[in-house]
Amino acid sequence: MEARIYSVGDDDADVDDAYYDDTLEGAQRPAHQKHQKRRLPQCLIIGVRKGGTRALLEFLNLHPNIAAEKKEMHFFDDEVNYNRGLEFYRKRMPYSYEDQVTLEKTPAYFVEEVVPGRVSAMNSSIKLILILRDPVERAISDYMQIYTTRHERGKTHETFENLAFDAMTGDVNKSYKAIRRSIYHRHMERWLEHFPLHQFHFVSAENLVQNPVEELRKVEDFLQIDHRLTQDHFYFNQTRGFYCMHLQHRQKCLAPSKGRAHIPIDQDVIYKLREFFRPHNQEMYELVGMNFGWP
């Protein structure tokens, strides 16, 4: 039997709309109004890649008290960008009012070793959001992003099975990036060397897909902003198979590449990966005090 895994998207390019303000107020604010200025972020969405960070950012950007930068900044994980300094970073943040939380998301932050220390050096009190997804599904989605890109360019690519398992031993290939990124506790341990647990908020990718308002309410509480995001602002798109957004004068979905079906993966492969990740998942649950209920 084969299992079919579905994608939860992250890519910057996969956004249907141009950059403008999509708050619940419905007005498209000018790029810069009186009393607005660019501020360093007070919150970062640090990951995970292929976990739904794009959906989370777009949903949060509906909130009038959030000013979200839609592009992935790659400031803390890119040497060239980081060496340009914090003023370079600040100038790339959106204009915001004093009562707004400035936020950016770069999923690579979670897994890059240098990032936690660099973020702490900027602001040791910053709030950090981490959306986590079933590590097996995340790894396959990670593979699919690269596979699809290469396929569209007429290039060949190794099968997921060949990359995910050692050809000699048949063991899971822990050096394969898609696998390594899904061993969450190893990355989280590094972050906890620099930040206390209470500065993190963990979002269930699965529940964000099924019940976005419930997850967003928790984020509002974490950011200490009013509850403004309600069921009225979302609708389930039967064609896409996930929730889209109701704005004042229009509807908005993520790009068509979000939620697309993957190539079938043999059930034996899924089973072996689940067995491999199970103890790693348990370590993550114990580390953060939250059970995500992955198979």
The Cα-based distances of 211 to 15, 24, 243 in angstroms read 21, 19, 9
154 in a labelled binding site: no
Is the pLDDT score of 149 beyond 90?
no
240 in a labelled binding site: no
141 in a labelled binding site: yes
Q: What is the pLDDT of residues 171-213, one digit of tens each?
A: 999 999 999 999 999 999 999 999 999 999 999 999 999 999 9
Q: Give the number of other CB atoms < 10 A from CB of residue 140.
A: 27
Instruction: Tell me the mean pLDDT in the region 111-120.
Output: 99
Tokens of 89: 């970073």
50 in a labelled binding site: yes
CA of residue 277 relative to chain centroid, distance = 20
Is the pLDDT score of 9 beyond 50?
no
Tokens of 56: 């989370």
Catalytic-residue membership of 105? no
Query: What pLDDT is stored for residue 233 in this prediction?
Result: 86
Q: What is the pLDDT of residues 63-105, one digit of tens each?
A: 999 999 999 999 999 999 999 999 999 999 999 999 999 999 9
- For residues 107 and 10, the answer to whether their CB atoms sit within 8 Å is yes
Q: Is the pTM of this model over 0.85?
A: yes
> Looking at 34, 37, 50, 174, which residue is catalytic?
50
How open is the CA angle 53-56-62, to the nearest 5 degrees? 140
Q: What is the pLDDT of residues 238-267, one digit of tens each?
A: 887 788 987 777 778 876 655 556 778 999
186 in a labelled binding site: no
Q: Roughly how many angstroms between the first and final C-alpha of the chain, as a whole number?
A: 17
- 19-28, 47-56, 158-167, 177-186: range with lowest mean pLDDT: 19-28
**Residue ranges of domains in the chain, CATH in brackets:** 2-288 (3.40.50.300)
- For residues 102 and 93, the answer to whether their CB atoms sit within 8 Å is yes
Q: Give the number of other CB atoms < 10 A from CB of residue 66.
A: 24
